[in-house]
Amino acid sequence: MIRLFDNLTEKAAWLLSDDVWQEKTKHLQVSATPVGVDRWGMSPVVFRRFLSLGDWLYRNYFRVETTGVQKVPPGRALLIGNHSGQIAWDGLMVLVAMVREADPPRAVRSMAEKFLIHQPWLGTLTVRLGQITGLPENCKRLLEDEHLVMVFPEGARGVAKPWFQRYQLQQFGTGFMRLALETKTPIVPFAFVGGEEIMINLGNISPLAKLLGFPSFPILLTPLPLPAKCQLRFGEPLYFEGTGDEPDEEVEEMVYQVRAAIDSMIQNGLACRKSVFWG
């Protein structure tokens, strides 16, 4: 069964990828131990093959327009953005963009919800793609190892927003800022526009979500993702001085600056798009 799955994913990756993607992944620097995964459980083979599907969606289904990727500095950095879409389509598109558009191509690590990591099969796939449990100590170690780490400070509040709250940023946590200060890491804000229309949430059934142990139980307009045309905008890196032990008020002011930068890019993206699904 494992060999069959391996053969199918290899063939699918070849069919879905184009010359640019094959060339980019060829030069992607992803290390692995003799057992085929790195010390975090990431598999370079699974990463390249699975992201071939993500790349097809990026080019042909969501038709993502990416700008500002050259602003992401080399070495460690925190990618901080808005969250949407009920499923992390935005996160997947960022992973693809940093391989396809960046020079040199880069693998992005991200902080995943504990709920996702604990799911059978899906949790394993998530780890093989380089995503890890969203704990501060994990993020700190990745940054100290000079990784590019993606964090959605809205968490589940952002991804599960109902339709009437689309493109309204939810409350940001402050943990990412304390880590950035402690590790002297630059923050690159990014905005993903189009994600709110991929899977339209009419509301959440909170009692059912609690009963099942889910972060939310959305009432979706359609069971499948809609082909919304998406924009991915990276902003100028932000540098903050401190130790990470500052009073909450000081840290919250820094977080507000990041949040304001993301909101500004979202509003600019919404203002310039001609159509949700075409263009």
Q: How far apart are CA 155 and CA 224, in angstroms?
A: 22
Look at the chain and report how many structural domains it folds into.
1
pTM exceeds 0.75, yes or no: yes
In this prediction, residue 235 carries a pLDDT of 98
Range with the poorest average pLDDT among 68-77, 198-207, 211-220, 255-264:
211-220
Does residue 171 sit within a domain?
Answer: yes
Q: How far apart are CA 225 and CA 218, in angstroms?
A: 14
| pLDDT tops 80 at residue 3 | no
| pLDDT tops 80 at residue 103 | yes
Does residue 279 sit within a domain?
Answer: no
DSSP code of residue 171: P
Dig out the tokens for 69 from the structure.
């990727």
Does residue 266 sit within a domain?
Answer: yes
Does residue 98 sit within a domain?
Answer: yes
Q: Are 218 and 204 in contact (CB under 8 A)?
A: yes
CATH number assigned to the domain comprising residue 143 = 3.40.1130
In this prediction, residue 143 carries a pLDDT of 96
Residue 23 host element (H or E) = helix 19-26
Range with the poorest average pLDDT among 88-102, 196-210, 211-225:
211-225
Q: What is the pLDDT of residues 47-98, one digit of tens each?
A: 888 889 999 999 999 999 999 999 999 999 999 999 987 788 999 999 999 9
Q: How far apart are CA 54 and CA 92, in angstroms?
A: 7
Residue 11 host element (H or E) = helix 2-16
At 12, the pLDDT band (50, 70, 90 cuts) reads low
Q: What is the pLDDT of residues 132-188, one digit of tens each?
A: 888 899 999 999 999 999 999 998 777 778 889 899 999 999 999 999 999 999 999
Q: How far apart are CA 239 and CA 246, in angstroms?
A: 16
Dig out the tokens for 169 from the structure.
């940023």
- The one-letter amino acid code at 222 reads T
Q: Are 165 and 245 in contact (CB under 8 A)?
A: no
Q: What is the pLDDT of residues 16-47, one digit of tens each?
A: 778 888 888 888 877 777 777 888 888 888 88
Does residue 277 sit within a domain?
Answer: no
Q: How far apart are CA 219 and CA 207, in angstroms?
A: 13
- The one-letter amino acid code at 241 reads E
Nearest to 273 by CA among 202, 197, 220, 201: 197
Nearest to 244 by CA among 189, 172, 155, 184: 184
Q: How far apart are CA 238 and CA 77, in angstroms?
A: 10
Which domain, by its residues, includes 96?
2-272
Q: What is the pLDDT of residues 76-85, one digit of tens each?
A: 999 999 998 7
Q: Tell which wins on pLDDT, 157 or 255.
A: 255
Does residue 181 sit within a domain?
Answer: yes
| pLDDT tops 70 at residue 11 | no
Does residue 278 sit within a domain?
Answer: no
Q: Which residues contact 136 (CB under 8 A, 6 or more apart)?
A: 175, 178, 179
